[in-house]
Structures are given as C-alpha cells and as structure tokens.
Amino acid sequence: MTDNTHDHNAFDAELDTTGLYCPEPIMLMHNKVRDMTAGQVLKVVATDPATTRDVPKFCQFLGP
C-alpha cells in the first residue's frame, strides 16, 4: 500500500485540527466541506482519538 499522506495531489484541501477536541474538529470540517464540491477530497489531520469515530459518522450523516 502506498502512503499518500504527503502527496498534495492526493487531496484537494487540508484541515489541521491538531490539539483540538470534540466537537471542534467536526465543526471545522463541516465548515470546510461547505466550500468544497462533490468529489473533492479533504485531508483531516487530528490528534483527538475520537475523530477516528466521529469523521465516518459525520460523513454518513451528510450522505452521498
């Protein structure tokens, strides 16, 4: 498997939420995706362990 975390062509926007705790990363992510178009990729950098649970749930909430 190739690690694309530092390949800027692998994502369209990046959001660094390092040091923030729930619900801040999700709130910032919600604001960021509002400015993006369908199909674009957002890279989220986070240190809050809950983010690994919250991001997929947020994406399901937004729907396709």
In the prediction, which pLDDT does 26 show? Answer: 96
Query: Is the pLDDT reported for residue 63 higher than 60?
Result: yes
pTM recorded for the entire structure: 0.79
Q: Which domain holds residue 22?
A: 10-62
Find the CATH number of the domain harbouring 45.
3.30.110.40
Backbone conformation region of residue 40, classed left if phi is above 0, alpha if psi is from -120 to 50, else beta: beta
| Number of independent structural domains in the chain | 1
22 included as an active-site residue: yes
Does some domain include residue 46? yes
Question: Phi then psi for 15, rounded to 5 degrees?
Answer: -130, 120
Higher pLDDT, 1 or 57: 57
- Indicate the SS3 state at residue 42: strand
Percent of the chain with pLDDT over 90: 77
Query: Which residue among 15, 20, 22, 55 is the active-site one?
Result: 22
